[in-house]
A and B are shown apart, each in its own frame.
Chain A
């Protein structure tokens, strides 16, 4: 897919910015704090209905404004064009999404239609941070490649909140049959999620190995190990996972009532990364972490490309400044093979001494939330 146009209105520091993008590479160049990352964030609204970073829509709303809009034209591989419009109104705290002027009823319907991969400094937490960061990473990939998963995740989170409310009030009132009913739901949806994550990590591993070997010359083997909250054997079907989850719930019942929160289920899963059998978290160097992350993201790209039958757009936010020269070169070589890419940077140097800008590769100078100029050969 290709994003051909975008228009930002009252979005972060962009009062009104319009872009016509190149099909291959789009570079946003500018000093820090000028609004480059904000553009990538706006593209994320077009593709997955929300921001990669901000937890709430109101955060990206320009100060002192009461609505924002992101509009874009996306051309998918079949050649069809979709006009996507995301409109948020602060007065009623409501976001609406329109595709070709038709209102989208469920946002989960959009996810996966316009696949997107982002690599940004925030992503360092995927290899360095808490398990939740890795769950978020794999959940967004599965959601984009499997619409049902996106819906089941939403429902699971709802079940979790409902069940946690029951546990939090369990000292004043506890209806056993009611708790049992929520247990059934937790177990049913939890098992589906664990099953799909297991399946996903099995499918995803070869992509990761492939990409990692492209990035490093030494023989290092990256591995992903799924550690769900119930221990699983290979190829175990959802109904058997349900039984395991139910047993674990019974076993941890007293703890849950004491802690007043749900401690059994896929929201407690971990995904362990390792390199040559050593835990990445404990043993890898900074450089290895960075390579691992790039390999993960490139693997995500090719996985989604195959699953969605649509080439994702790839967003790179300030990535090159953090890399040494060799990694930087390798990443750039990789980027050239990807499809449509959007890159923010404070310096043009990464593209060599005299970078060529043309119809395929465009450069946008960004200052104070505006496009100062866009450069391409006629």
Chain B
């Protein structure tokens, strides 16, 4: 099923390597790129390179950002005394969409999963502890409602307990085994409002 052009074949292969894109879709995307005006393709290629070259982690919350610290961490409108701990940058986006949470975030970069070789030292846990040197009133644990997220919640609660800061977790309204990032806004709002102390 090879194309008569190596460059087309190469682009199909590249697309097909992306998550949730099969070979058929990859072919369709490639055909689309072939028909795009050259300027658009250049912009697209540049956008791809830019995310690699310009995007870095915020040194405070470890979310993605162009400028360090990120806009959320720098914002005067955010309540700096509440930190919401999440697994991935996408979870921040999901929670921001609710317009419910006005504090700061802390992105762990995953959850505990021995099977994937992820232990506490592979997550931004030390960095979270460092942030708590400053005046913080509440930490909200908003990890995914699956086995790994739950265990990480348990771990963080144990770790933070001696610090005498209010620790809460979002309500368990989310279906078990689901991902925070795919929860709808109403569900997430309810989860935030119904958070419980640990």
User: Chain A residues in contact with chain B, CB under 8 A?
Assistant: 92, 106, 151, 154-155, 158-159, 161-163, 165-166, 169, 173, 175, 177-178, 180-182, 184-185
Contact = CB atoms under 8 A, between A and B. Distances in A.
Contacts of B177: 106, 151, 154-155
B176 A182 contact: no
Chain A CB count within 10 A is highest, among B112, B114, B148, B152, for B114
Q: 9 tightest CB-CB pairs across the interface, nearest first?
A: A165-B114, A181-B155, A181-B154, A158-B147, A166-B114, A184-B154, A181-B151, A162-B114, A185-B151
A163 to B, nearest CB: 8
Contacts of A165: 114-115
A178 B159 CA distance: 10
B26 to A, nearest CB: 14
A177 B158 CA distance: 7
Contact of A162 (B151, B154, B175, B176): B151
Given A151-B176, A155-B176, A182 B115 contact: no
B120 interface: yes
24 contacts: A106-B175, A106-B177, A151-B176, A151-B177, A154-B177, A159-B147, A159-B151, A163-B114, A165-B114, A165-B115, A177-B120, A178-B112, A178-B119, A178-B155, A181-B112, A181-B151, A181-B152, A181-B155, A181-B158, A182-B151, A184-B151, A184-B154, A185-B147, A185-B154
Main secondary structure on A side of the interface with B: helix
Interface in B106-148: 112-115, 119-120, 146-148
B150 interface: yes
Contacts of A184: 151, 154
Contacts of B151: 159, 162, 181-182, 184-185
Interface string B67-108: 000000000000000000000000000000000000000000
Output the residue of A154, A173, A184 with the most chain B CB within 10 A. Answer: A184
A162 B113 CA distance: 7
Q: Is the interface of B mostly helix, strand, loop or mixed?
A: helix
Interface residues of B, number: 20
Interface of B: 22, 112-115, 119-120, 146-148, 150-152, 154-155, 158-159, 175-177
A159 B114 CA distance: 10
B166 to A, nearest CB: 20
Nearest to A158: B147
A49 to B, nearest CB: 15
A165 B177 CA distance: 20
B48 to A, nearest CB: 25
B147 A180 contact: no
A230 B111 CA distance: 30
Nearest to A166: B114
Nearest to B153: A181
Given A158-B147, A159-B151, A177-B158, 15 more contacts: A106-B177, A151-B177, A155-B147, A159-B147, A161-B115, A162-B113, A162-B115, A162-B151, A165-B114, A178-B120, A180-B158, A181-B152, A182-B114, A185-B147, A185-B151
A182 B148 CA distance: 9
Contacts of B120: 175, 177-178
A185 B111 CA distance: 14
Nearest to A176: B158
A169 B113 CA distance: 13
